[in-house]
């Protein structure tokens, strides 16, 4: 139907849950003091907010923070997780690679009191305390604390010294993870098998799971994995058909009902009335690359007010969004702020976003695509008859977003939503990924007559 193919993968059907905005205002620090901490609204036992003073403005601003592995936030402070009950991951980028911060060791969340991660350069390696000792998360050292667990055999010596070993298993409560041996003395790497596959320690390969032994696990943050479309959603009637590699993550819907949209190829799509919004994962993360695609049929030109299609709504300092795709005055506009474009000016006006725009058509199905590869930002709008593409140079990573991504508009916890100011129209498909694959880019370049850049090209690897 369209001028270049839509990427696809396996399908699952997932229920849509919904949440209401909190009536109070927990995010802002106006009634708090510097250093105060308070719970994050997300159900994550490690994350919290800390009030810190902005050096440029002197204003107290909430900053997202995380307890270290082996600790949990109790509503006031980080405390040792003595009962090993907190298994959430910290979504902050600097926590995803703990060896970068100078710590020589860190906690292994596998239920084994002897195992821990030891940093080799910037790569964590799984090791064990000596017999009779266990890892002390408070001191980051091995201590005589009554630990009687066994050490996995591959942790006792360097498994990669055996020339027949290319990959080896990790005991970390994940069915997709394994260690990959490197050559020339380079440290081993933590990897994930593709979605719906598990690591077989006998064959040292990733293999498809049987119907009785399904691996629906996620890839832990900080591990490497082959790049796949993370969110790949078809809006079918009142059901989300989810086909991406992260098809098990929770997507939250606000209290607005799902309305039937226009037909596309005989299928009823989702109708957005300006109030329907969905909150996606990827809160408190940094995007090095972006692939985003929506298949939409707008009902209006959005002349009265901008209509957000995809936005993180607030950046790390709770100001303007750092990634946003909107309709406004007959144009599709993508706005991106990277770390290289942040200006030192007063809060709530502290960014200078890069912007691209193209005209769109009302009451017509069209595919809108945004690609950012760390060097170039691209925007394309394609109908059955024609396509247009614009681009501009842009470097740097897209900084941490406090609110995650939202589809259809913005609802901020603690702030009353403005009724009817979201997207108005039908939506048939949505895709999003924080990595780029060569075949996606080559398909895009070919469709729009673009000469592929030489170099760089993505390596089809995503740091989870």
Structure tokens at 207: 């293999």
Question: What pLDDT was estimated at residue 455?
Answer: 57
Q: Does 400 fall in a domain? A: yes
Q: pLDDT by residue (tens digit) across 317-345? A: 546 788 999 999 999 999 998 877 654 44
Cα distance between residue 13 and residue 187, in whole Å: 40
Lowest mean pLDDT among 28-32, 131-135, 190-194, 281-285: 281-285
User: pLDDT grade, residue 134 (50/70/90)?
Assistant: very high
Nearest residue to 432 (alpha-carbon basis) of 42, 6, 90? 6
User: pLDDT grade, residue 26 (50/70/90)?
Assistant: very low
422 CB contacts (<8 Å, ≥6 apart)?
272, 274, 275, 276, 277, 307, 308, 408, 409, 410
Q: Does 37 fall in a domain? A: no
Taking residues 236-265, report their average pLDDT. Answer: 82
**Domain hosting residue 287, numbered range:** 12-16+228-456
Cα distance between residue 362 and residue 356, in whole Å: 19
Global model pTM greater than 0.75: no
CA 74 to chain CA centroid, Å, is 25
Q: How many domains does the chain have?
A: 1
Question: What pLDDT was estimated at residue 337?
Answer: 87
Tell me: cis bond preceding 456? Omega within 30 of 0 counts: yes
Q: Does 318 fall in a domain? A: yes
Question: What pLDDT was estimated at residue 133?
Answer: 93
User: pLDDT grade, residue 405 (50/70/90)?
Assistant: confident
Q: In this prediction, what percent of the chain has a pLDDT beyond 70?
A: 77
Question: What pLDDT was estimated at residue 86?
Answer: 82
Q: What is the CATH number of the domain that holds 382?
A: 2.60.120.200
> Do the beta carbons of residue 366 and residue 383 sit within 8 Å?
yes
Q: Does 436 fall in a domain? A: yes
Secondary structure, 3-state, the chain: CCCCCCCCCCCEEECCEECCCCCCCCCCCCCCCCCCEEECCCCCCCEEEEEEECCCCCCEEEEEEECCCCEEECCCCEEECCCCCCCCCCCCHHHHCHHHHCCCEEECCCCCCCEEEEEECCEEEEEECCCCCEEECCCCEEECCCCCCCCCHHHHCCHHHCCCCCEEECCCCCCCEEEECCCCCCCCEEEECCCCEEEECCCCEEEECCCCCCCCCCCCCCCEEECCCCEEEEEECCEEEECCCCCCCCCEECCCCCEEEEEECCEEEEEEECCCCEECCCCCCCECCEEEEEEEEECCCCCCCCEEEEECCCECCCCCCCEEEEEECCEEEEEECCHHHECCCCCCCCECCEEEEEECCCCCCEEEEEEECCCEEEEEEECCCCEEEEEEECCCCECCECCCCEECCCCCCCCCCCCCCCCEEEEEEEEEECCCCHHHHHHHHHHHCCCCCCCCCCCCEEEC
Lowest mean pLDDT among 42-56, 217-231, 448-462: 448-462
Q: Does 149 fall in a domain? A: no
Q: Does 98 fall in a domain? A: no
Q: pLDDT by residue (tens digit) across 282-297? A: 655 678 889 999 999 9
Question: What pLDDT was estimated at residue 39?
Answer: 78
Q: Does 321 fall in a domain? A: yes
Q: Using the predicted structure, report yes or no on whether residue 3 has a pLDDT greater than 50.
A: no
Average confidence score pLDDT of the chain: 79
Which range, 61-65, 92-96, 132-136, is most confident? 132-136
Q: Does 138 fall in a domain? A: no
Question: What pLDDT was estimated at residue 219?
Answer: 75
Q: pLDDT by residue (tens digit) across 379-403? A: 999 998 889 999 999 998 887 555 6
């Amino acid at each position: 139907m369209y001028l270049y193919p839509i990427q696809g993968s396996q399908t699952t059907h997932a229920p849509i849950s919904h949440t209401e905005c909190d009536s109070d205002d927990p995010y802002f620090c106006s009634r708090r003091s510097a250093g105060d901490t308070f719970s994050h609204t997300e159900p994550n036992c490690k994350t919290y907010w800390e009030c810190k003073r902005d050096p440029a403005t002197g204003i107290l601003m909430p900053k997202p923070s995380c307890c270290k592995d082996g600790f949990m936030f109790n509503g006031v402070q980080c405390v040792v997780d003595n009962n090993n009950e907190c298994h959430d991951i910290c979504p902050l980028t600097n926590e995803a690679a703990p060896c970068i911060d100078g710590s020589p060791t860190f906690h292994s969340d596998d239920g084994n009191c002897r195992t821990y991660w030891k940093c080799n350069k910037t790569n964590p390696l799984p090791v064990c305390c000596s017999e009779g000792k266990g890892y002390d998360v408070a001191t980051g050292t091995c201590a005589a604390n009554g630990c009687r667990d066994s050490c996995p055999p591959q942790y006792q010596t360097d498994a990669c010294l055996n020339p027949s070993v290319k990959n080896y298993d990790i005991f970390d409560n994940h069915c997709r993870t394994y260690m990959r041996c490197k050559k020339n003395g380079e440290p081993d790497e933590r990897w994930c098998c593709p979605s719906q596959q598990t690591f077989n320690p006998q064959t040292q390969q990733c293999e498809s799971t049987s119907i009785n032994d399904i691996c629906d696990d996620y890839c832990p943050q900080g591990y490497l994995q082959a790049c796949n479309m993370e969110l790949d959603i078809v809006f079918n009637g009142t059901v989300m058909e989810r086909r991406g590699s992260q098809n098990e993550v929770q997507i939250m819907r606000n209290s607005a009902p799902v309305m039937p949209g226009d037909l596309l190829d005989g299928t009823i799509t989702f109708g957005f009335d300006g109030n329907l919004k969905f909150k996606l994962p990827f809160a408190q993360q940094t995007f090095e690359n972006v692939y985003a695609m929506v298949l939409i049929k707008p009902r209006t030109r959005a002349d009265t007010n901008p209509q957000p299609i995809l936005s993180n709504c607030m950046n790390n300092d709770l100001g303007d969004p750092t990634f946003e795709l909107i309709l406004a005055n007959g144009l599709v506009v993508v706005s991106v702020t990277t770390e290289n474009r942040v200006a030192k000016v007063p809060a709530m006006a502290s960014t200078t976003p890069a912007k691209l725009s193209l005209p769109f058509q009302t009451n017509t199905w069209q595919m809108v695509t945004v690609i950012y590869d760390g060097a170039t930002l691209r925007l394309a709008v394609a109908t059955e008859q024609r396509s247009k593409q614009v681009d501009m140079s842009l470097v740097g990573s897209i900084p941490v977003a406090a609110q995650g991504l939202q589809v259809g508009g913005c609802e901020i916890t603690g702030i009353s939503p403005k009724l009817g100011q979201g997207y108005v129209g039908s939506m048939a498909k949505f895709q999003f990924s924080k990595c780029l694959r060569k075949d996606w880019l080559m398909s895009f370049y070919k469709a729009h007559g673009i000469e592929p850049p030489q170099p760089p090209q993505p390596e089809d690897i995503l740091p989870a």
